[in-house]
Amino acid sequence: MRVAVVLLLAVAIGCAGPKRSEDPKIRDEEIARDVLWELHGNERFAEVRVTCKEGVVFLDGVVTSETDREGARRVAWGVSGVQEVQSRLRLRSR
């Protein structure tokens, strides 16, 4: 179901990605929201928090593996408008 919604949205807004606000503060909020949306579609990233300032995305929280930490970075880089990704994700102790 989610895949169908994403595909429908992609067709509706075109391949260029979402339009971003001209206001830098709102643009950062939009970027953070979109990164969070992408991450929280996957249970592995349920404890990841996202902020954005001047196009730089900050990932905070806990993941269970180095693979998940790198995966979160890749997801963030895939969002339109991201200029840089700073990961401050910690690995959960086992």
Q: Which CATH architecture has domain 19-91?
A: 2-Layer Sandwich (3.30)
Q: Are 45 and 75 in contact (CB under 8 A)?
A: yes
Task: Round to whole Å and give the CA distance between 17 and 40.
Answer: 19
Domain ranges of the chain: 19-91
Q: Are 88 and 80 in contact (CB under 8 A)?
A: no
Q: Mean pLDDT throughout 12-25?
A: 63
Q: Read off the pLDDT band of 25 (50, 70, 90).
A: confident
Q: What is the mean pLDDT of the chain?
A: 85
**Neighbour count for residue 81 (Cβ, 10 Å):** 18
Q: Mean pLDDT throughout 56-76?
A: 97
pLDDT at 7 over 80: no
Q: Mean pLDDT throughout 33-62?
A: 96
